[in-house]
A and B are shown apart, each in its own frame.
Chain A
Amino acid sequence: MRFLLTTTGDSSAPDEAMMAEMGAFIEEMTRSGVLLATGGLEPGGVRMTSRGGEVTVTDGPFAESKEAIVSFALVEARSREEAIELARRFWKIVGDGQGAVQQVFGPEDAPR
């Protein structure tokens, strides 16, 4: 099962110690074959809206930037509990903030 772990924009700012700890954590998760991909996202980005056949592109800044996703980790876990446990370890390092754990449906889950 794959899960996408995400954090949103209102997490506490990283300091050097936290970065080091996070680096070690990411390395360990990668080595143990759990972490498939991870990355950070630019805050906000460009907003796209499609309405009535018309696609609108809106540049930021956006008022509700705190809700935007700023980082993600794609993990291969054996159960939801395991994904949550991994996320918990992540938050132990990050400190305050919020995010989500969502199962990712792959091609194998798609209707044929």
Chain B
Amino acid sequence: MSGTDALIGRVTSRADPPRDERGVIDAVWKLESARIVAGLLRLVGDVGLAEELAQEAVLAALEQWPASGIPDNPGAWLMAVAKRRAVDHLRREDRHGRGQERLAHDLSTRPGDDAREMDDILGAVDGEVGDDVLRLMFVSCHPVLPAESRVALTLRLVGGLRTDEIARAFLVTETAVAQRIVRAKRALADAGVPFEVPSGPDRTARLASVLEVVYLVFNEGYSATAGDDLMRPSLCLEALRLGRLLAGLVPGEAEAHGLVALMELQQSRSAARTGPSGEPVVLHEQNRGRWDRLLIRRGFAALLRARQAGGPLGPYVLQAAVAACHAGAATAEETDWPRIASLYDALVRVLPTPVVQLNRAVALAMAYGPDAGLALADTLTGEPALAGYHLLPAVRGDLLARLGRREEARAEFERAASLTRNAPERDVLLRRAATCAANAAEGIADIGGIGSVEGVGRIAGIGGVGGVEGGIGGVGVGGVVLGEAVRVFLARPGLTAGTLRSYGQTLSRLCLRLGADLPLQEATPQRVAEVFAAEWGTAAGATWNRHRAALRSFAAWAAGHGLISADPADGPTTGQTADPAAGKAVDRAAVPDARVAGLGADRAAVPDVDRAAVTGARVAGLGADWGTELAAALDRRPEPRGRVRPIARPHLEDLWARPDVAPRERALWLLLYESAAPAEWALSLDVQDLDLPGMSAVVRGRRRRIRWEAGTAALLPPLVGDRRRGPLFLTDRRPGPGRAPAAADLCPHTGRSRLSYERAEHLFKRATRDLDPGGEGYTLHRLRHSRLAHLAEDGWTAPMLMSLSGHTSARTLRELVRAGQPAEVTADPPCPPPERPRMPARPSA
């Protein structure tokens, strides 16, 4: 472009601008949809109808605007047309005798025929537009809807996004989104969800649901990567917008401001989060010059408003405060880690998830040294919720590296790399592993930074329902390492190509998960079982058995060749592989020799005398045991006959929405489904066991905790009522004379007794008789397992399911849950196609 052109600019006549009507209508719609739909919803009382009417207005605009030109106030135009349609509709309904009630309710006087009079009445309705939008948000985020439906419906109605935009953003098909929205609308209608801002104790739970939806949208955008459709990162902006809108509508709610602050501050780092080739850049290495100062300032302002709103510090405010600590530090070194650590101390009290604990470990390490962090991080290795979660080994690797334990650090980084699905992240982790290896060789001090703190919280927040036994055993024990043993095992002569391939698959996966340099004796049954559960826990029976056979063959071979030395002093903490009769510790100096000899020669000959003495003494006793014990937790897969088939999701959704279900049953069923806990546990709950804000309860006698979700959370307060003690689920009548139940099963308030399993079962069977093709009705057991099956379909791994459900054996679970197995579905309604794995997000900075 020449200088003259630049001076003149692009001289296109804009007197009659060639505006793209479709684009303008879309823009106007996005700006106005919340208010238009909310206003219509107030008039007609049905979400589906409200949106339909709004769409009719948009269609009218598409027809008329190209000819008439775009009106001066396009938003008002759409609103006016939609309202006319609404009134027409109501009149039509009225003629059919159905609309009277609504009209009487919504328009205190019956509108006359005069259009002007009508407009006046409708104008009066406009007065409370803000409240209408708030009501709309409470409706679209109603806990009767599953989270994915709440998200879709909110983006559609409040954000004004088109179905195809939502589908692109969430990497699902347009049909799937459309189905979610249709089902959501129907569920809302069936449940008779009122168009109102909830009050009282209900309000807190309902608001939490709205905040959750907004943050889910944000996290979905936040997890987008460089190659993604731009629609995905823009979800962050959409969420920010929804959050700001919400905070403006409920200015007294600290958590709403907290969420906005959290999102503004996280979003302020969006440009610095990735490097030139799309690789993630960890917080302390980010170029702070790329942080968006405007958003930081807005984040601080929102945090200030949260503080001014008062009340106890909730999870969003606390996380925003952590984010503010980062944002306020001019350099990474100036970060106020002691303050962050104390914020995490507070956060872990209101949000006691393993992921928050992991963040806290990082903060402790930064504030008080890697030892402090590692001590906490080490307690998390047995958390089923974190099994397969790459940031746990990443953090441990980092802390180990900072302690100079580079070999262990390298193993952790490699494990982390094998667990992440994000390729750039994997590269970063492998580079760090390589650095550790290099430094270990050269003896250079490692000055690596902390693992990826950012985003730690947003993968899986499923509460750790009690730790699975086992854990990481002692590290640094000498002996043959897993990778070498596998290599030699597979190099044996006489293996057919098929066997080699099959064994190779199993064992290479084992090496990847456990680390190829893991001393063989540390491959405890627990750790191997965890790998099996994570890798193949939900696979078909034949697959499971094949991998199991490969493992057994390898274990028997390794034990028979004296490659394992089990030692009570240095061995795994579980003690299961340790030989109680074992003698003194392995001479570490002898280990390298033994390794070379034992592996190079593929035979039991171990030239080193000390080692030979130690090993030889126990080969006989240990060998066969080790082989069988290693696979002890891995039973052969039983016949699939006994498997409990899941109830189809649409059936359950219909069930939740059914108006004739009593509140007690609705709460119990939803609780069983959402918590996937055994019915005995749920029925054994007492009112005083409940942690309603925490959406969980302690199952006494089992020392386990069951957790539910928003659906149950909304139903429990009315069920509990004024009761403060005694059984949660009560019988309808008081027990007859002579049938006095135990005091613990009697409600001190009402004199009624605890609902029995038999009765609960009977009621559920009766209610589901028409859903069951067999005509018998479903059992509560089946309801519980349906949830597990559905989660498995959604990509939950077996350890996560074990943690959620309290199943102690992967085998039991495997019997019942198989991923990809469709639930039984009759012809209608349609079952959504399996979608990309999603896990519930929990907020974290």
Binds B, one of A14-22, A28-36, A41-49: A28-36
With a cutoff of 8 Å between Cβ atoms, the chain B residues found around residue A10 in the complex are none
Is A31 in contact with B23, judged by CB distance below 8 angstroms? no
Closest beta carbon of chain A to B310's beta carbon, Å: 21
Tell me whether B665 is interfacial, beta carbon within 8 Å.
no
Is A106 in contact with B292, judged by CB distance below 8 angstroms? yes
Indicate which residue in A33, A36, A76, A79 contacts B23 across the interface (CB closer than 8 Å). A79
Is B294 in contact with A81, judged by CB distance below 8 angstroms? no
Tell me whether B28 is interfacial, beta carbon within 8 Å.
yes
Give complex CA distance A74, B298 in Å: 13
Tell me whether A107 is interfacial, beta carbon within 8 Å.
yes
Is A112 in contact with B294, judged by CB distance below 8 angstroms? no
Is B27 in contact with A81, judged by CB distance below 8 angstroms? yes
With a cutoff of 8 Å between Cβ atoms, the chain B residues found around residue A82 in the complex are 27, 30-31
Give complex CA distance A81, B19 in Å: 9
Tell me whether A51 is interfacial, beta carbon within 8 Å.
no
Closest-by-CB residue of B relative to A85 is: B27
Given contacts A92-B72, A106-B292, contact A81 B23 (CB under 8 A): yes
Give complex CA distance A61, B292 in Å: 35
Closest-by-CB residue of A relative to B268 is: A107
Tell me whether B331 is interfacial, beta carbon within 8 Å.
no
Indicate which residue in A36, A81, A106 contacts B26 across the interface (CB closer than 8 Å). A81
Indicate which residue in A33, A37, A106 contacts B243 across the interface (CB closer than 8 Å). A33
Is B24 in contact with A36, judged by CB distance below 8 angstroms? no
Contact residues on A (Cβ < 8 Å of other chain), bracket: 20 to 34
Tell me whether A64 is interfacial, beta carbon within 8 Å.
no
Given contacts A33-B245, A92-B73, contact A112 B31 (CB under 8 A): no
**Of residues 236 to 257 in B, which have CB atoms within 8 Å of A's CB atoms?**
237-238, 240-245, 248-249
Tell me whether B227 is interfacial, beta carbon within 8 Å.
no
Closest beta carbon of chain B to A112's beta carbon, Å: 4
Give complex CA distance A108, B241 in Å: 19
Closest beta carbon of chain B to A86's beta carbon, Å: 8
Q: Max chain B CB contacts within 10 Å: which of A30, A33, A82, A86?
A: A33
Indicate which residue in B23, B28, B74, B292 contacts A107 across the interface (CB closer than 8 Å). B292
With a cutoff of 8 Å between Cβ atoms, the chain A residues found around residue B244 in the complex are 31-33
Closest beta carbon of chain B to A21's beta carbon, Å: 13
Please, what's the 1-or-0 string for A89-112, where 1 marks a CB less than 8 Å from any CB in chain B? 000100000000000001110101
Contact residues on B (Cβ < 8 Å of other chain), bracket: 20 to 34
Closest-by-CB residue of A relative to B269 is: A107
Closest-by-CB residue of B relative to A33 is: B244
Please, what's the 1-or-0 string for B263-293, where 1 marks a CB less than 8 Å from any CB in chain A? 0000000111001100000000000011110
**Of residues 1 to 44 in B, which have CB atoms within 8 Å of A's CB atoms?**
19-20, 23-24, 26-28, 30-31
Is A31 in contact with B234, judged by CB distance below 8 angstroms? no
Give complex CA distance A32, B298 in Å: 14
Is B27 in contact with A107, judged by CB distance below 8 angstroms? no
Given contacts A31-B248, A33-B241, contact A85 B28 (CB under 8 A): yes
Is A32 in contact with B294, judged by CB distance below 8 angstroms? no
Is B245 in contact with A108, judged by CB distance below 8 angstroms? no
Is B237 in contact with A78, judged by CB distance below 8 angstroms? yes
Closest-by-CB residue of A relative to B74 is: A85
Please, what's the 1-or-0 string for B287-310, where 1 marks a CB less than 8 Å from any CB in chain A? 001111010001000000000000
Is A33 in contact with B30, judged by CB distance below 8 angstroms? no
Given contacts A31-B248, A107-B292, A108-B270, contact A76 B27 (CB under 8 A): no
Is A85 in contact with B24, judged by CB distance below 8 angstroms? yes
Closest beta carbon of chain B to A64's beta carbon, Å: 14
Is A76 in contact with B30, judged by CB distance below 8 angstroms? no
Closest beta carbon of chain A to B562's beta carbon, Å: 55
Please, what's the 1-or-0 string for B57-77, where 1 marks a CB less than 8 Å from any CB in chain A? 000000000000000111000
Closest beta carbon of chain A to B529's beta carbon, Å: 45
Closest beta carbon of chain A to B265's beta carbon, Å: 15
Please, what's the 1-or-0 string for A51-90, where 1 marks a CB less than 8 Å from any CB in chain B? 0000000000000000000000010101101101110000
With a cutoff of 8 Å between Cβ atoms, the chain B residues found around residue A85 in the complex are 24, 27-28, 31, 74
Closest-by-CB residue of A relative to B161 is: A78
Q: Max chain A CB contacts within 10 Å: which of B19, B27, B73, B290?
A: B27
Q: Dominant SS at the B interface?
A: helix
With a cutoff of 8 Å between Cβ atoms, the chain B residues found around residue A106 in the complex are 271, 292
Give complex CA distance A30, B240 in Å: 12
Is A78 in contact with B243, judged by CB distance below 8 angstroms? no
With a cutoff of 8 Å between Cβ atoms, the chain B residues found around residue A76 in the complex are 237, 240-241
Is B24 in contact with A32, judged by CB distance below 8 angstroms? no
Closest-by-CB residue of B relative to A112 is: B276
Give complex CA distance A86, B74 in Å: 11
Please, what's the 1-or-0 string for B772-809, where 1 marks a CB less than 8 Å from any CB in chain A? 00000000000000000000000000000000000000
Q: Dominant SS at the A interface?
A: mixed
Give complex CA distance A112, B30 in Å: 33
Closest beta carbon of chain B to A78's beta carbon, Å: 6
Closest-by-CB residue of A relative to B289 is: A107
Closest beta carbon of chain B to A105's beta carbon, Å: 11
Q: Max chain A CB contacts within 10 Å: which of B74, B238, B249, B271?
A: B271
Indicate which residue in B20, B27, B241, B294 contacts A37 across the interface (CB closer than 8 Å). B294
Closest-by-CB residue of A relative to B244 is: A33
With a cutoff of 8 Å between Cβ atoms, the chain A residues found around residue B276 in the complex are 112
Given contacts A85-B24, A85-B28, contact A107 B290 (CB under 8 A): yes
Give complex CA distance A112, B278 in Å: 11
Give complex CA distance A63, B659 in Å: 75
With a cutoff of 8 Å between Cβ atoms, the chain A residues found around residue B242 in the complex are 33
Is B27 in contact with A112, judged by CB distance below 8 angstroms? no
Indicate which residue in A31, A34, A74, A81 contacts B20 across the interface (CB closer than 8 Å). A81
Give complex CA distance A36, B28 in Å: 19
Give complex CA distance A112, B298 in Å: 25
Indicate which residue in B20, B241, B291 contacts A32 across the interface (CB closer than 8 Å). B241
Closest beta carbon of chain B to A2's beta carbon, Å: 9
Give complex CA distance A76, B292 in Å: 13
Closest-by-CB residue of B relative to A36 is: B294
Please, what's the 1-or-0 string for B590-632, where 1 marks a CB less than 8 Å from any CB in chain A? 0000000000000000000000000000000000000000000
Give complex CA distance A79, B234 in Å: 11
Indicate which residue in B19, B241, B249, B270 contacts A34 across the interface (CB closer than 8 Å). B241
Is B31 in contact with A31, judged by CB distance below 8 angstroms? no
With a cutoff of 8 Å between Cβ atoms, the chain A residues found around residue B291 in the complex are 107
Is A107 in contact with B245, judged by CB distance below 8 angstroms? no
With a cutoff of 8 Å between Cβ atoms, the chain B residues found around residue A79 in the complex are 23, 26-27
Closest-by-CB residue of A relative to B159 is: A78
Closest beta carbon of chain A to B655's beta carbon, Å: 38
Give complex CA distance A70, B237 in Å: 28
Closest beta carbon of chain A to B77's beta carbon, Å: 13
Closest beta carbon of chain A to B132's beta carbon, Å: 14
Give complex CA distance A31, B243 in Å: 10
With a cutoff of 8 Å between Cβ atoms, the chain B residues found around residue A86 in the complex are 31
Indicate which residue in A31, A33, A112 contacts B275 across the interface (CB closer than 8 Å). A112
Closest beta carbon of chain A to B189's beta carbon, Å: 28
Closest beta carbon of chain B to A29's beta carbon, Å: 10
**26 A–B pairs (Cβ distance < 8 Å), ordered by A:** A31-B245, A31-B248, A32-B241, A33-B242, A33-B243, A33-B245, A33-B248, A74-B294, A76-B237, A76-B241, A78-B30, A78-B237, A78-B238, A79-B23, A79-B26, A81-B24, A81-B26, A82-B27, A82-B30, A84-B24, A85-B28, A85-B31, A92-B72, A107-B271, A108-B271, A108-B290
Known: A82-B30, A86-B31, A106-B292. 18 other contacts (CB 8 A): A33-B241, A33-B244, A34-B241, A37-B294, A76-B241, A78-B30, A79-B26, A81-B23, A81-B26, A82-B27, A84-B24, A84-B27, A85-B24, A85-B31, A107-B292, A108-B270, A110-B271, A112-B276
**Chain B residues at the A interface, C-beta cutoff of 8 Å:** 19-20, 23-24, 26-28, 30-31, 72-74, 234, 237-238, 240-245, 248-249, 270-272, 275-276, 289-292, 294, 298
**Chain A residues at the B interface, C-beta cutoff of 8 Å:** 30-34, 36-37, 74, 76, 78-79, 81-82, 84-86, 92, 106-108, 110, 112
The 7 closest A-B pairs by CB, nearest first: A33-B244, A31-B248, A107-B271, A81-B27, A108-B271, A33-B241, A82-B27
